[in-house]
Structure 1
Amino acid sequence: MESGPKPQSGLPLREATGLIRGRHQHHHPAAAATARHRRRQETVMEFLEKLSDKLSERTLKDFEIIRGMKMKLNPQNSGLMPWDPPYYSGVIRAERYNIEPSLYCPFFSLGACMEGLNILFNKLLGIALYAEQPAKGEVWCEDVRKLAVVHESEGLLGYIYCDFFQRADKPHQDCHFTIRGGRLKEDGDYQLPVVVLMLNLPHSSRNLPTLLTPGMMENLFHEMGHAMHSMLGRTRYQHVTGTRCPTDFAEVPSILMEYFANDYRVVNQFARHYQTGQVGKLICNTVL
């Protein structure tokens, strides 16, 4: 006497039982993963739709302002093109906030910005950055600076080579990359990470230190976010350490650092005029 469907050839007993009881979807790992993925997609779409609804009115107002600026500057061709908003947004910000780099750069010397990073890391993470003298032949250019990253209780976490300055044979690209990834060695010790933070800043002169625009300062903070991710990402295997992870997650520390770079409460702690030592509170409040 047949009591139900027979298990198919090669079909696991648990899955066959699930078929009999009508619970195949709940027991099949692939089906369960698909269901979870579908729920995640639905959650993301729901979030994006809510965000779009909340921002639509504000976005339309912003586009009207941008359209008005283009009409003012180019009345013969005032229709908005896809490439127009970034340009005209910058024009509007410069006009509205009088963002003239020469007014702000004196408050953002490279030394002041590095001190700001040191203050921030110390307060947030208990970490300090110490300059070290590279050994002969250790660096590829005499302008490269070596920083030791030291935690207040765990000690040395790794090294950052700061290749900050312009030179003729250097790629014009601001980035962070890994020389040696951190990993857990067979003897139980941890291999310390070594990374490079590369920018294209102007050199200092006899009477003028390297001065950064607000945008350069923000970019320094962004790239240092990547470097600290590499310092703090203690993993067993070096191919998944630090920024060697999904791109979205790799950008999280850097985006967080951008928020700090645009928070006047943070910037007020280090923005100082390179000649007078004047605190840049008014400057910070205007720019940020």
Structure 2
Amino acid sequence: MSLPQSLQIVPAAEEVVPTMTRIIDEEDFVRKQILQTVIPTNATFQNVILPLAEVQNKTQGERSMLDMLQYGSPSLASQNAFDQARRLDLEAEMLRITDRSFFKLLQTAKQNSGGLDIESEHLIDKELLKYTHAGYGILTDKEMEQYQLLKAKIADLERAFQQNVAREAGGVHFTIDELTGVPGDQLSRWKDSCSTNEAIHNQHQKWKLVPFANGGTQAVLTYAHSPDTRKKMYLEDNRKLGENKSIFEEIVKVRTQKAHLLKYETHADFRIETRMAKSVEWVNDFLEGLREPLCRYGRDEIAVLQKRREKDTDAQVGKAFPPWDKFYYERLVKEEFHIDQQLFSEYFPLQETANRMLGIFSSFFDLRFDLIPADNVPSDCVWHDTVRIFSVWDIKNDNQFVGYIYFDLLWRENKYRGNQCVNIQCGYLKPDETRQYPATILMCSFPASTPERCTLLQHHQVVTLFHELGHGIHDLLARTKYVRFHGYRLPPDFGEMPSTLLENWCWMEDVLEKLSCHYTTLDTKYLTQWQTQHPLAGEPDPAQKVPRDLVKNLIKHRYFGKGLYYLRQLVISIFDLQIHSIRPDHVFGNLDIQKVWYDLREDIEGMDFSECRDGFSFATFTHLTAGYDVCYYSYLCCTAMAQDIFSSRFESDPHNKDTWDKYRRDILQYGGSQIDLLGMLEAFLGRPPNMNALVEGLLRVKRDG
């Protein structure tokens, strides 16, 4: 079987630094040639920007494969080698950005290059903004050196923060009795252990070490009957990664210094220039517009949870609602709605569900996904033996090759703990007018399978998988000239919109039915085990498809819990904006990030966090140290835009081919190449976007009951 485009090689640990050195040399050679052959008065797009873009196009794939190692490589040696390579790259970029002569060429090229297409014009502006953000026209040479040092310091701090999260391996010891209620398939994932302090008094009691990672905390908070167990798990999880507190505070402090050096009042003012929103005031107004209606909606949900909690004899009636009881009572309330997430999950085995999702996207966009047999994949083209690769083809356009998508779905040691899409090859137009096709990874961290059962997904996990796969499809369908704008390489406050829009299809009966199959149909051993666990005489084998009544009830109560979910996003968004809006004269000594975080959680989420204030949950998620600083609002912003698009264009006919074709042509194929993203969306909608659509949708559901 011949492949339409060579798969990328995954470098061994000892190859990482030499590969980065070669990439740096190749890019520097092109820059040197430009400086030697172009005089400022003759600088144009063709002789300055285009050669730079072409070498960036050429080297991007290898760069991205090196970047992938920090997230996906099971080898600490490779991850450490990436750290070295990254430092070399930062040093090289620091030298480039301090080259004033190249900045002058860029300025003249901008002036001398009229009549360019929008993407090329956008490319010049982005390159110039990079130099402006490095201090040109603002800083002296000495100040620019100081600025670059601050930038490098931030990068090192961010990497340390992320490594601490990725390598966190803590947990809590519980007796089996304390874990009563937790499903057996969850218990089987956790190691047998004993708590050294208490085992002396409980020598015959069996113990489990419940990890914070790999779904451990979530399982205990959702299923453990004992409120003391839930509380202990929550508070211990809340206290993990205390070492990241000082790192994060230092990051905020240095970001503030860096922005002030560039004459911005705050880091928020600095970062917003690269966002769709363009002003901190716009973001503040948007978030404050959500605050009051979402808080009301969330308080109503807490009242429902509290009422259910008061039915339990060990619940303390009249007390404020504690955060460690949220998932448990949400589950119980949903069970009263006849929503059984455990039963639901039996119909959504991870690998099969992911495969069937490809079928859904095939129907939307007329694509074909072909699994490349493992025997046809060279061993040096994958980083772990669980990775699968699909080639993608465009049925509607004469079965043209589209690109590759990799599935790396399971948790493992030293892997990134979240769920994301990772590009390892952008598409672009080569100098000979042929196209380099993209390759992207669906990289998740779902709990690993056990001998007794494969990994099963609850509905919220199905939504997460669909969302991240949506990013991958966006990556595959983009058609840009330059890697700078490929796929979802656009401001996150727009880039999250396409995948958020797609989540709506995870609440449709026909889609969930197509995605479902009972896990026992995958392997006879699973069926045998299921029959052993259900020994009643005459009990039928499980249905092959998810029960319709379960799906109907799930959809009917779709918005229960959404208020608290959005309030959590609102907390992080306001926290992000507040800590990055501190001015330099306030940031040193007057900023108590821990207090800001828990004050916001208590005020907005409406639960009792009084026993949690010694924790560090703000220092456990990597978004604000991985490019989403002054950007977490993107999730709410994109949800509003997605809701607007869905209700006005898709809701009445969600499978309409013409609508999907227009969406692909007018939104996805542009990637990030358009200068005015809100204008692009307005052209698709035929009117300005409605940024109140999120709240209006929730209130409509509440009004209609």
For normalisation by structure 2, the TM-score amounts to: 0.32
Distance in 2, Cα, partners of 1:46 & 1:90 = 26
Cα shift at 1:126: 0.6
Equivalent residue letter for 1:75: Q
RMSD in angstroms over aligned alpha carbons? Answer: 3.4
Match of 1:138 among 381, 389, 392: 381
| Matched residue SS, 1:120 | helix
**Other-structure match for 2:52:** none
SS of aligned partner of 1:64: helix
* Aligned amino acid, residue 396 of structure 2: S
Deviation at 1:164, TM superposition (A): 1.3
Paired residues of 1:116 and 1:267 also in contact (CA < 8 A): no
Match of 1:278 among 523, 529, 544: 544
Question: 2:409 maps to what in 1?
Answer: 164
Residue 95 of structure 1: CA displacement?
4.1
Structure 1: distance between partners of 2:328 and 2:289: 26
Q: Deviations over 1:186-232 (max 9, x none)?
A: 11112111111111234455664432222222211111011111111
CA distance in 2, matches of 1:282, 1:70: 26
Does the 8 A contact of 1:126 with 1:152 survive in 2? yes
Q: Secondary structure at the match of 2:382?
A: coil
- Structure 1 142/72 Cα, relative in aligned 2: closer, same or farther at 3 Å? same
Q: Which structure's residues are more often helix, by fraction? A: 2
Match of 2:301 in 1: 62
Counterpart residue type for residue 371 of structure 2? A
1:97 corresponds to 2:364: no
Q: Are the counterparts in 1 of residues 403 and 437 from structure 2 also a CA contact under 8 Å?
A: yes
Matched, 1:186 2:186: no
SS of residue in 2 equivalent to 1:75: coil
1:242-274 deviation per Cα after TM superposition (whole angstroms, max 9, x unaligned): 121111221112212222122222101231223
User: Structure 2 unaligned runs (5+)?
Assistant: 1-277, 522-541, 556-705
Instruction: Name the aligned partner's letter for residue 96 of structure 1.
Output: E
One-letter amino acid of the counterpart of residue 62, structure 1: E
For residue 170 of structure 1, give the secondary structure of its aligned residue in structure 2: coil
Aligned CA distance change for structure 1 residues 106 and 79 (closer, same or farther; 3 Å): closer
- With over 3 angstroms needed to count, the CA separation of the structure-2 counterparts of 1:56 and 1:209, relative to structure 1, is closer
Q: Which residue does the alignment assign to 1:227?
A: 472
> Are 2:316 and 1:75 equivalent residues in the alignment?
yes
Aligned position for 1:175? 420
Match of 2:442 among 197, 200, 203: 197
Q: CA deviation at 1:239?
A: 1.6
Aligned to 1:147, which of 370, 390, 395?
390
Query: Which whole-Å CA distance do the structure 1 matches of 2:418 and 2:356 have between them?
Result: 23
- Specify the SS of the correspondent of 2:514: coil
Indicate how the Cα distance of structure 1 residues 283 and 115 shifts in structure 2: closer, same or farther if over 3 A, else same. Answer: farther
Classify the secondary structure of the residue corresponding to 1:196.
strand
Change (3 A) 1:85 1:52: farther
Structure with a larger share of its residues in strand: 1
Residue identity over aligned pairs, in percent, reads: 24
CA 86–238 in structure 1, closer or farther in 2 if over 3 Å, else same: farther
C-alpha deviation, 1:278, in angstroms: 2.0
- Give the distance between the partners of 2:287 and 2:461, measured in 1 at CA: 36
CA distance in 1, matches of 2:413, 2:299: 45
Amino acid at match of 2:388: R
For structure 1, list consecutive stretches of 5 or more residues without a partner in the other structure: 1-36
Residues in 2 aligned to 1:80 and 1:205: alpha-carbon distance in whole angstroms:
35
- The one of 205, 215, 218 equivalent to 2:460 is 215
Q: In 2, distance between residues paired with 1:88 and 1:208?
A: 23
Letter in 2 for 1:278: Q
Evaluate the alpha carbon distance shift between residue 181 and residue 222 of structure 1 in structure 2; reply closer, same or farther with a 3 A threshold: same
Query: Is 1:268 matched with 2:535?
Result: no
Report the CA distance between 1:65 and its aligned residue.
Answer: 2.3
Change (3 A) 1:205 1:72: closer
C-alpha offsets along residues 40-65 of structure 1, whole Å, 9 cap, x if unaligned? 959x769947x956x77655543432
Normalised TM-score (structure 1)? 0.72
One-letter code aligned to 2:544: Q
The number of aligned residues is: 248
* Amino acid of the structure 2 residue aligned with 1:68: K
Deviation at 1:91, TM superposition (A): 4.3
Distance (Å, rounded) in 1 between the aligned partners of 2:459 and 2:439: 28
User: Hey, what does 2:575 align to over in structure 1?
Assistant: none
